[in-house]
Amino acid sequence: MTNKILILPGDGIGPEVMQEVDKVIDWFNKNKDFKAETEYDLVGGASYDTNKTSISDSTMTLAKKADAILLGAVGGPKWDKVEYENRPEAGLLRLRKDLDLFANLRPATCFSALSGSSALKKEVIEDLDILIVRELTGGIYFGEPRGIEDLGNNNRRGINTQVYETWEIHRIAKVAFELARKRNNKVTSSEKRNVMESGLLWYEEVKRIHEDKYSDVQLEHMLADNCGMQLVRWPKQFDVIVTDNLFGDILSDVAAMLTGSLGMLPSASLGESEESIFKSALYEPVHGSAPDIAGKALANPIASILSFSMSLKYSFNRQEDSDLLEKAVSNVLNKGLRTKDISDGSKYISTNEMGESIIQELNNIS
Ligand code: IPM
Ligand code: MG
């Protein structure tokens, strides 16, 4: 069976890092019984420049047919003046919403070779392995009403609505509890129940589903501001963190930076599952388009390569291949090879050299 992979490189460093991913896919095609066909299309500002929309209907059709979508990054100052509904980020948000990719998995693991590159002390992040489960299709990102109203007299009102319903909270909480059972069996649910009714509902519904179905898993509730603080104080207290769309966006950037660089962290956005294979799935690095370093061969392709590794696990049911790729990355880091973001600034290799080193390591260990 040939797997269909849609690659959407996007903007900024997106195309550079996806080029390295393409080589890795190629390697698995040639060296394993993994068969994948790749197709390329536009998203974000790149799509806007050609199609005047940040994702076209024909790209959405391809996305719906694909077994997995690999995305680079979207956005950049070039599109600052574009109408709001066509801004690069809108393309990514439409993919998430229309494919109902409600479960965003953002692991923050620290490769031992990099335990010195974090802004935090080594003992705080050494062997760190936490997973943020972010709700991705609801909350304030999509809530209505929204908009900017002109109230006259030079006064305007900006509105967004944080809204969650029981079923949305239950389905994301289930994903978190199921994943925790395969890890260290602990879930921390994070919201602002002290300020927001939607947070209170979140708290009560997570508590309810826990009592009903997952009482074997340890559950803890933590206010989102405290969670941000605890993440930088002692991150190893966490196993799985489940949280809403907005808090998940913020907390996952914090968690990612614990591990040394945003350039290291992959993510998976998954739709409803049939057994263990997810119907729709999009994989992307947690980092953004980094326009300041785009085109300079400075980008770290590891987050994107590890995102492909997540697809091997969650979309293609190939745990062994996923492990092999992670091992190759880990070995390359153990050899001291670094892109600029994870180097001490004196000696580093290019995006392309990092990709090639990982391929070489795959050859060595397979
Ligand atoms: C992320 C990004 C996106 C988000 C942007 C690019 C729309 O920050 O995936 O974390 O806010 O969700
Ligand atoms: Mg973000």
Domains of the chain are 1-102+271-366 (3.40.718.10), 108-264 (3.40.718.10)
User: From the alpha carbon of 249, which atom of ligand 1 is closest?
Assistant: 10
Residue with tokens 């997810």: 278
Q: Using one digit for the tens of pLDDT, what is the confidence trace for 15-41? A: 999 999 999 999 999 999 999 999 999
Measured by CA distance, the residue closest to atom 6 of ligand 1 is 89
pLDDT (0 to 100) of residue 39: 98
- 3-class secondary structure, 266: strand
- What percentage of the chain reaches a pLDDT higher than 70? 98
d(CA 141, CA 277): 27
Rounded CA gap, 192 and 312, in Å? 35
User: pLDDT-derived band of residue 260, with 50, 70 and 90 as boundaries?
Assistant: confident
Task: Please report the pLDDT score of residue 277 as a whole number.
Answer: 59
Is there a catalytic annotation at residue 249? yes
- Distance, in Å, from the CA atom of 244 to the CA atom of 265, rounded to the nearest integer, reads 19
| Per-residue pLDDT, 162 | 98
Atom number of ligand 1 nearest to Cα 245? 12
Render pLDDT for 338-365 as a digit per residue (tens, 0 to 9): 999 999 889 999 999 999 999 999 999 9
Mean local confidence (pLDDT), 228-247: 98
pLDDT in tens, 151-195: 999 999 999 999 999 999 999 999 999 999 999 999 999 999 999
Closest CA to ligand 1's atom 9 = 286
Average pLDDT, the chain: 96
225 has catalytic annotation: yes
| Secondary element (H or E) of residue 199 | helix 197-213
Q: Whose CA is nearest to atom 4 of ligand 1?
A: 249
Active-site hit among 11, 22, 41, 249 = 249
Contacts of 64 (CB under 8 A, 6+ apart): 98, 99, 280
Query: In the predicted model, what is the mean pLDDT of residues 243-266?
Result: 92
Rg (CA), the chain: 20
Token representation of residue 96: 């998430």
Look at residues 28, 100, 124, 26 and name the one whose alpha carbon lies nearest to residue 280.
100
Instruction: State the distance between the two ends of the chain, measured CA to CA, in whole angstroms.
Output: 22
Mean pLDDT of 76-88: 96
Q: How confident is the model at residue 331 (pLDDT cuts 50, 70, 90)?
A: very high
- pLDDT mean over 200-224: 98
> Does residue 108 have a pLDDT over 90?
yes
Q: Which ligand places an atom closest to the C-alpha of 136?
A: 1
- 98 catalytically annotated: no
Write out the two tokens for 29: 């095609």
Q: What pLDDT is attached to residue 352?
A: 98
**Ligand 1: nearest atom to the Cα of 267:** 9
**In one letter, which amino acid is 118?**
S
- Is the pLDDT score of 274 beyond 80? no
Look at residue 261 in the predicted model and tell me its pLDDT.
Answer: 82
C-alpha 248 to ligand 1 mean position (Å): 10
119 has pLDDT over 90: no
| Alpha carbon separation from 347 to 333, 338, 341 (Å, rounded) | 14, 8, 11
CA 237/CA 214 separation, integer angstroms: 20
For 294-315, write each residue's pLDDT tens digit. 999 999 999 999 999 999 999 9
**CB within 6 Å of ligand 1 — which residues?**
74-75, 89, 92, 249
CA separation for the pair 122, 189 (Å, rounded): 26
Q: What's 353's DSSP letter?
A: H
CB atoms within 10 A of CB 277: 12
Whether the per-residue pLDDT at 49 is higher than 90: the answer is yes
Q: Which residues contact 62 (CB under 8 A, 6 or more apart)?
A: 6, 39, 41
At 1 the pLDDT is 82
CA 356, 357, 363: angle at the middle one, nearest 5? 90
Paired tokens of 97: 């919403």
335 is catalytic: no
In whole angstroms, what is the distance from residue 242 CA to residue 209 CA? 13
Quote the ligand 1 centre to 10 CA distance (angstroms): 13
The residues facing 3 across adjacent strands are: 36
Share of the chain above pLDDT 90, in %: 92
Beta strands in the chain (DSSP E): 3-10, 36-40, 68-73, 103-109, 129-135, 147-150, 156-159, 186-191, 218-223, 240-243, 266-270, 273-274, 277-278, 281-285
CA-based nearest residue to 264, from 332, 315, 314, 316: 332
For atom 11 of ligand 1, the residue with the nearest CA is 249
Confidence at 276, pLDDT banded by 50, 70, 90: low
